[in-house]
Structure 1
Amino acid sequence: MYSGLEVKGDIEEGTLYPGLGYGENQLRWGFIRKVYGILSAQLVLTTLVSLLTVLYSPINETLRGNSAILLFFTFMPFVLLWPLYHYQQKHPQNFIFLGLFTVCLSLTIGVACANTEGRIVIQALVLTAAVVCSLTGYTFWAAKRGKDFSFLGPVLFASLVGIVFAGLLQAFFPFGSTSTAIYGGLSAIVFSGYIVYDTDNLIKRFTYDEYIWASVTLYLDILNLFLTILRMLRQGDN
């Protein structure tokens, strides 16, 4: 009797959210591990490409000196999103497009880091890692207690549209220091919200065939948060 209760307690302890059966829970955990494995590979690749861009100056100088090439790598990830979504369930096309998508974004990240003081880059990395780990842990804890974050979807999307338009406006009519600080803070809040929202989708709503798309959404959330924090620290230092 005691052994049975102990096993039942272990099962309940590892349940992702209330009402999820044991078999489904095991499958879901396998899916989550797969997504985080792909996400980890993306982050490692991004780190390596960024380090190469920072340490090997000809790459950085070529990208900075040729605006056409830099614009190509900036907008190419948006182009790759369509085939990435279309072929997400077809191997090996899904991983080929995922690799191209990650490398293109990594080059732009590398340029941003190469033109920022190393101390600030490390601070941004540490802060981003702390925020991502904290929000991820909180979302898993909250989901286990029956909390749902699906309501954040429309709010975050509307906020993201506002941030994009504000960014375009800032390119033509630069904000003052106070407005820039507010813009950076709101951007960080929105991307932090997306980490919670997409992690909740990973736990409950992504299908098992959407492991590529799930990793892409979390990857973009982390990169956008990192770039926002990096920009805020750089402006604060200036």
Structure 2
Amino acid sequence: MAKEKFKDAEKGNAVEKEAEDLENGNANADAAVPAPLYPKMAEDPRARWAFIRKVYTILASQFLFTSAVGAVGAFVHPIPKFFLSGGLTSIVVFVAILLSPFIAMFPMLIFRRKHPINLVLLAIFTACISCSVCILSSFFGVKAFLEAAILTCTVFIALTLFTFWAARGGNDFTFIFPFLFATIHVLLVYLIIQLFFPLDRIVYTVYSLLATLLFSGFIIFHTESLIKRHGYDEYIIAAIDLYLAGVNLFTSLLGLAGIA
């Protein structure tokens, strides 16, 4: 009888230990799952974080390449001299570089979900944008380029962190899209007017300030889309949205730095 009681006690202890191990295992499994990115998040946060990491990896490579090419334009003095020479070759090259991003964008959008051609086309598009940034940077010089680059990096990171924090708190920024849409059309009309009737210093400063605010808003909006709305196969579109918002923010700040 004593042996049977001893065996029963051992079995009971073993069952309790197994239950405790299972509980600890479940606790560890739950601890491995990150907190939801926003309230009432239905999807697995790990899958969304993997998507976010993929997009920011692509975005970081785009920004690094564009920064390097833009620095070439700012530091290599013969580049602005070539484009300001007014020769036929310089005009043709200038127009070709400005039009190349629009030409490269269409096939990239068509094949955005077909790997690996989507990455190849994205690289071509990034190179075209980088060449445009190179020309623009060459006109403003080293000081303006460095100021705009540092400010862009600071603002982009700050707005990204703010949007992640705000999303976790349940804030939604979808409402700002109509204002962004209307503002960008107003600025485009001003840009067309400037081609025929150049703006004075004060108006150009106001234009650059509005553009800076506009693309800061786009960074917030597209970051929230990255967190909540983009599908897992839309990493190219998500990267393009944030990349263009960052580049346009840089060009706006470059204009302000050039005026100062």
Normalised by the size of structure 1, how large is the TM-score? 0.89
Q: Which runs of 5 or more residues in structure 1 are unaligned?
A: none
Match of 2:128 among 95, 98, 104: 104
- The 1:210–1:57 alpha-carbon spacing in structure 2 relative to 1, beyond 3 Å, is same
Higher mean displacement: 225-234 or 39-48: 39-48
Does 2:156 match 1:135? Answer: no
- The 1:215–1:157 alpha-carbon spacing in structure 2 relative to 1, beyond 3 Å, is same
Partner residue of 1:176?
200
Match of 2:58 among 7, 15, 38: 38
Deviation at 1:189, TM superposition (A): 0.5
Cα offsets for 1:33-83 (capped at 9, x unmatched): 000000011112212323344455666655555112211111111122221
CA distance in 2, matches of 1:35, 1:8: 26
Does 2:183 match 1:163? Answer: no
Residue 149 of structure 2 contacts residue 250 of structure 2 at CA under 8 Å; is this kept in 1? yes
Counterpart amino acid of 2:49?
W
Deviation at 1:172, TM superposition (A): 1.0
Partner residue of 2:46?
26
The alignment partner of 2:140 has SS state of coil
Question: Percent identity between the aligned chains?
Answer: 33
Higher mean displacement: 200-209 or 167-176: 167-176
Partner residue of 1:89?
113
Deviation at 1:234, TM superposition (A): 0.4
Counterpart amino acid of 2:100?
M
Give the structure with higher Rg (CA).
2
Normalised by the size of structure 2, how large is the TM-score? 0.82
Partner residue of 2:9?
none
Deviation at 1:8, TM superposition (A): 5.6
Q: Which runs of 5 or more residues in structure 2 are unaligned?
A: 1-19
CA distance in 1, matches of 2:65, 2:192: 29
CA distance in 2, matches of 1:233, 1:58: 22
Match of 1:222 among 221, 231, 246: 246
Does 2:216 match 1:192? Answer: yes
**Aligned-pair Cα RMSD in Å:** 2.2
Deviation at 1:115, TM superposition (A): 2.4
Counterpart amino acid of 1:28?
R
CA distance in 2, matches of 1:170, 1:132: 28
Match of 2:38 among 5, 17, 38: 17
Deviation at 1:146, TM superposition (A): 0.6
Counterpart amino acid of 2:185?
V
